[in-house]
Amino acid sequence: MSFPTARWRLLWSPPADGAMNMAVDVAIVEAVAAGEAPPTLRFYRWDPPCLSLGRRQPVDDVDLARCRMDGVEVARRPTGGRAILHVDELTYSVIFPESDPRAAGGVLETFRRFAEAFVQALRDLGIPEVALAPRLDPAARGDGFVCFEVPTDYELTVRGRKIMGSAQWRHRGVVLQHGSLPLEGDPGTIAVYLKNGPDPERLRRRAITLREAAGRPVTFEEAAAAIMEAFRSLLAIEAQPGDLTPEERRRIPVWRERLSVLRQVGAVPAEPF
């Protein structure tokens, strides 16, 4: 399927804490819904490290004391899914109206379109074995704690190990899809921060970083450039650098407070949306 050329805003966000990163994504969703901001492709990083939880994942899954001791933030994502430890990674988000033809066909079809672009990007980075995970029987999904333990529909794998996870939220006629591409590090580390979490060795067998898959270090900028080129060639998205609008900046502090778990344990509702 071919698409008409679309000019989206490109945001290079500076490294930020987890609640800030999630608040920016939600603020953009609200601004796009209100007609105050254009469709947006955003790249961002995390400082300090952050354990993010899917929107319905219980806080009780987390060893909050260990997170505090190690300086790991805990934040709530607007999207679903399982816990992710954000350390040395590239995180992207795409935020655009549901009326856009790239969103046609529903959630899974949108996932597939963007996943095919990510496949091209990783192949261009020297990973020919990257593939899309097959659709899973819902009965086989399980109830694990960790996003990278099991690839779900149309997520990316290398030699059967998950390399990239994404999640989607549709709100007020706007699509938010964001995802995590670990550049390097130890996929088993997240188990330390979860109560009764998975075996670290099992996670290492089931997940892989970009460095291990490519056999070389890949920088944040190199990975982002490959994704932008794949978006341009497969999805006809021309991303032009821009900035947050005043309306978006005004919304961010409210969402940052609501999405920070460690600062408001006992006060943050389980469903803050």
Whether the Cβ atoms of residue 23 and residue 259 lie closer than 8 Å to each other: yes
Can you give the pLDDT at residue 167? 95
Q: Residue 231: what residue type?
A: F
pLDDT value of residue 125: 98
In this prediction, residue 198 carries a pLDDT of 87
Give the whole-angstrom CA distance, residue 273 versus residue 271: 6
pLDDT at 265: 56
Residue ranges, the chain, pLDDT below 70: 136-152, 263-273
- Domains of the chain by start residue, with CATH: 6-264 (3.30.930.10)
Q: Answer yes or no: 147 catalytic.
A: yes
- What is the DSSP annotation of 157-222? EETTEEEEEEEEEEETTEEEEEEEEE-SS-TTGGGGGBTT---HHHHHHHB--HHHHHTS---HHH
Q: What is the pLDDT of residue 247?
A: 97
> Helices H, strands E: what count in the chain?
7, 11
CA distance 226 to 267: 41
How many Cβ atoms are within 10 Å of 156's Cβ, its own excluded?
26
**pLDDT score recorded for residue 240:** 98
Query: What pTM was computed for the model?
Result: 0.92
The predicted pLDDT at position 39 comes to 98
pLDDT reported for residue 1: 75
Query: Active site residue: 31, 74, 103, 147, which one?
Result: 147
pLDDT attached to residue 189? 97
pLDDT of residue 269: 46
